[in-house]
Amino acid sequence: LIAQLTAPVRWTYIVRNTLSVVRLPDRMPIEVDAVSIAGSTNAWGHTVDLTLSRPGDLQHLQPNSSGPRAIEVTINGYVWTALVESYGRRRQVSNEGRPEFGVTVEGRSRTALLASPYAPARTKVTSEERSVAQLVDEELASTGYTADYDTVDWLVPAGAWYYDGTPPLEAISRLAEASGAVVQSDPEDLVLRIVPRYPASPWAWTTTTPDHVVQDDIVVADSLQVRSAPLYDAV
């Protein structure tokens, strides 16, 4: 946990954002009008959508003989990398009679190369006792990716871990699910993080100091939805 965040109460908050997009690895600049980055706890990677300022830049982002192109997006000093996997084009005539062109590209975290359709489906049966962290490392051997395993670990008996027709990322997700953990892609580096779904156990939330505090003064609107559930406290 980190120190609580407090902000001065003002009538107006002004934020000046900085944005840059480059192609990897040659760092060719790509001019964009808009960027959208999304992710969730249940998704192993993030998605990136770009609206190109110059439709001609699309040729620089299309796949080559090595596969899909990679990009780096930097917003206010925070870095995300992604593979460009698809694109869309829009053409229309403006109210003034001028032709207008728009191109959008979409992509996912570079860890997508560990999943279908890029990574081959494999078959495996363990012949020796391994920890879960070791099994994850074995899935990433010789791929150029590494794992940051930061959750419950235990020994898996020989023969207990097996699969058929499974790419590496799916196998790692199954290992994480066994302990209630989730798989997350590092925003910038070729690293998979296997972490608990919640940094602090829900049982301890009432006594845990939050990472950040959002003051009521800067909240424009909020909502609350209550739902009923069985009062289970043990299984």
Pair 70, 84: CB distance under 8 Å: yes
Segment 56-112, tens digit of pLDDT: 999 999 999 889 999 999 999 999 999 999 999 887 776 777 767 789 999 999 999
Six-digit token pair at 176?
A: 């994480």
pTM above 0.85, yes or no: no
SS3 at position 115: coil
Segment 14-68, tens digit of pLDDT: 888 999 999 999 999 999 999 999 999 999 999 999 999 998 999 999 999 889 9
User: How large a percentage of the chain has pLDDT more than 70?
Assistant: 94
CA Rg value for the chain:
22
Please state the φ and ψ torsions of residue 231, each to the nearest 5 degrees.
-85, 55
Distance of alpha carbon 137 from alpha carbon 146, whole angstroms: 7
| pLDDT confidence of residue 1 | 43
Bridge partner list, 163: 124
Six-digit token pair at 127?
A: 């012949």
Six-digit token pair at 235?
A: 């299984």
